[in-house]
């Protein structure tokens, strides 16, 4: 490389530097304008947006059910239901229990065991199973009748036998829940009554 080419390269470097220089000058040290490549900047912006969404989603804000207060309330509620289930199991038919607890724990059992699939979310009935909220019954309306139909089912008509799926106490609990919580609850879209009206 001749001296001339070195000189001319130095010159063009100098030109580049001047071209990219910002006005920032710190004790003679100059700052170059050297922005990050577009793709790096883009990833950086995406991480910022992601972190905001993530924070709100995970830590919540009052009202979205994920903030501390709602989390606490959900946990306490779940605990109350568990407590009611245990008391119900200990007492059998739940006759002496707080009806609110019977209904809370019963609703959970009713949903967990899949009764909703054939009898609707509120027991209103659907095109598979009958309405459990009216006062008409195909299989009788006494506690014993209801326990019997849940225990033995009626496979030929599409009602699952639950004796191998639930304990006797759980079945009693559900029967109590149906009598105390579902019958007379007037849900939306009730299925037309079937069977005999209960005269008890
Ligand atoms: C796969 C669908 C299905 C599931 C799941 C189901 N049922 Fe049924 N259930 C039926 C059908 C169908 C009948 C009507 C049987 C008949 O015609 O006698 C019925 C009848 C009943 C009856 C008697 C109603 C009457 O009028 O005599 C009760 C009580 C009952 N089910 C409770 C429950 C409970 C509690 C659960 C959940 C543990 C449940 N069922 C889950 C389909 C189902």
CA angle 123, 118, 196 (to 5 degrees): 60
Q: Which of 138, 146, 141 is nearest to 110 (CA)?
A: 146
User: What distance in Å separates the CA atoms of residue 82 and residue 71, rounded to the nearest whole number?
Assistant: 17
CA angle 58, 61, 63 (to 5 degrees): 115
Q: What is the domain partition of the chain in residue ranges?
A: 15-59, 68-197
Residues with CB under 6 A from ligand 1: 113-115, 117-119, 128-130, 132, 137-139, 146, 149-150, 154, 157-160, 162, 174, 178, 195
Tokens in use for 34? 């050297």
Q: What is the pLDDT along the chain (200 residues), one digit of tens a residue?
A: 566 666 666 666 667 777 778 888 889 888 888 888 999 999 999 999 999 999 888 877 766 777 788 888 889 988 888 887 777 666 655 556 677 777 888 888 899 999 999 999 999 999 999 999 999 999 999 999 999 999 999 999 999 999 999 888 889 889 988 998 899 999 999 999 999 998 87
Whose Cα sits closest to atom 36 in ligand 1? Answer: 115
What is this structure's pTM?
0.66
CATH classification number, 68-197, choose in 1.10.3720.10, 1.10.150.130, 3.50.50.60, 1.10.760.10: 1.10.760.10
Is residue 177 within 8 Å of 118, Cβ to Cβ?
no
Q: Which of 159, 150, 138, 157 is nearest to 178 (CA)?
A: 150
């Amino acid at each position: 490389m001749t001296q001339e080419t070195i000189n001319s390269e130095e010159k063009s470097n100098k030109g580049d530097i001047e071209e990219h220089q910002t006005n920032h000058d710190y004790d003679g040290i100059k700052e170059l304008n050297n922005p990050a490549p577009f793709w790096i900047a883009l990833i950086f912006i995406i991480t910022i947006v992601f972190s905001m969404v993530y924070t709100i989603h995970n830590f919540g804000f009052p009202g979205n059910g994920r903030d501390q207060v709602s989390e606490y309330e959900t946990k306490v509620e779940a605990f109350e239901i568990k407590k009611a289930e245990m008391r119900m199991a200990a007492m059998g038919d739940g006759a002496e229990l707080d009806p609110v607890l019977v209904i809370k724990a019963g609703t959970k059992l009713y949903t967990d065991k899949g009764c909703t699939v054939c009898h609707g979310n509120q027991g209103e009935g659907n095109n598979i199973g009958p309405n459990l909220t009216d006062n008409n019954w195909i299989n009788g309306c006494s506690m014993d009748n209801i326990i019997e139909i849940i225990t033995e089912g009626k496979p030929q008509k599409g009602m699952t036998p639950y004796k191998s799926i639930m304990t006797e106490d759980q079945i009693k609990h559900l029967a109590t829940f149906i009598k105390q919580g579902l019958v007379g609850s007037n849900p939306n879209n009730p299925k037309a009554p079937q069977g005999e009206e209960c005269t008890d």
